[in-house]
Amino acid sequence: MAREQLSDTTFSWNGFTDRPELAAALAGLVAGRLTRAIAERGTGLLAVSGGTTPAKFFAALSQIPIAWDKITVTLVDERFVPASSPRSNAGLVAANLLQNAAAAARFVPLYHEATSIETAAASDDAALQLLPWPLDVVVLGMGGDGHTASFFPDADDLATLLDPSSPRIVLPVHAASAGEPRLTLSLARIVAAGFIALHIEGQEKRSAFENAMRPGPPRPIRAVLEAAPRAVEVFWAP
């Protein structure tokens, strides 16, 4: 059960006493949304984020016995590294989510070998056209700098990345703070999801979120929340 619930025009805050409690609650809600999507249209489409934060959530979700064979999982964003790299989001998903009951899900990665990040993004953009859009559920993360997906504050051509009317599905990202080139779903595809969750943990991330929501130059996470047609559900635990 949430211990702290706040609301804003752009988000609803769900605070939990600890991270396992958060993971179980978010997993149950995501599973319910996917089950509803399967009942309504015969399939479910889920996009998840990487990093260290979602491991417990992935493990909890993987054990919920829903119709995983009717669910497609993809990534919100990915580093331009192979799945064997410890920095790969695909590797994290394979090790923590695509296990147990969720092993039956179809996984569509973003990374593949290409001569450049631009070539990879164009190829992904064509391939992902075949997925059953829109997303039923997207689970975002957030960095201490206020970035979400791979919308880094110092990204080249950030305005293009944050264009809510972009026709693209996947975009290439170059940002010095990112460490390597990245691939990201476009803002337009993210905010069109039936359910959007932001999963953050720790006091540092809470402070970063609160700072991003204050008046002033918009941080990427605030741009996403303001572009979303419905309130984003924020899940936080210390």
pLDDT for res 8: 72
Q: Confidence band (pLDDT; 50, 70, 90) for 133?
A: very high
Is the per-residue pLDDT at 3 higher than 80? Answer: no
Is the per-residue pLDDT at 4 higher than 80? Answer: no
pLDDT for res 111: 96
Q: Under DSSP, is residue 109 helix (H, G, I), strand (E, B) or coil? A: coil
Q: Which is higher by pLDDT, 189 or 1?
A: 189
Is the per-residue pLDDT at 1 higher than 50? Answer: no
Q: What is the pLDDT of residues 174-215, one digit of tens each?
A: 999 999 999 999 999 999 999 999 999 999 999 999 999 988
Q: Which residues contact 108 (CB under 8 A, 6 or more apart)?
A: 72, 73, 74, 127, 128, 131
Q: Under DSSP, is residue 107 helix (H, G, I), strand (E, B) or coil? A: strand
pLDDT for res 152: 97
Range from 70-84, 187-201, 210-224 carrying the lowest mean pLDDT: 210-224
DSSP designation for 16: -
Q: What is the pLDDT of residues 11-58, one digit of tens each?
A: 999 999 999 999 999 999 999 999 999 999 999 999 999 988 999 999
pLDDT for res 9: 80
pLDDT for res 7: 58
> Which CATH number does 10-237 carry?
3.40.50.1360
What mean pLDDT do residues 214-219 have?
84
Is the per-residue pLDDT at 147 higher than 80? Answer: yes
pLDDT for res 5: 56
What mean pLDDT do residues 97-105 have?
98
Residues in a beta bridge with 217: none
Please provide the average confidence, as pLDDT, over all residues in the chain: 95
Neighbours of 175 (CB within 10 A): 20
Q: What is the crossing angle of helices 220-227 and 203-212, to 10°?
A: 60
Is the per-residue pLDDT at 216 higher than 90? Answer: no
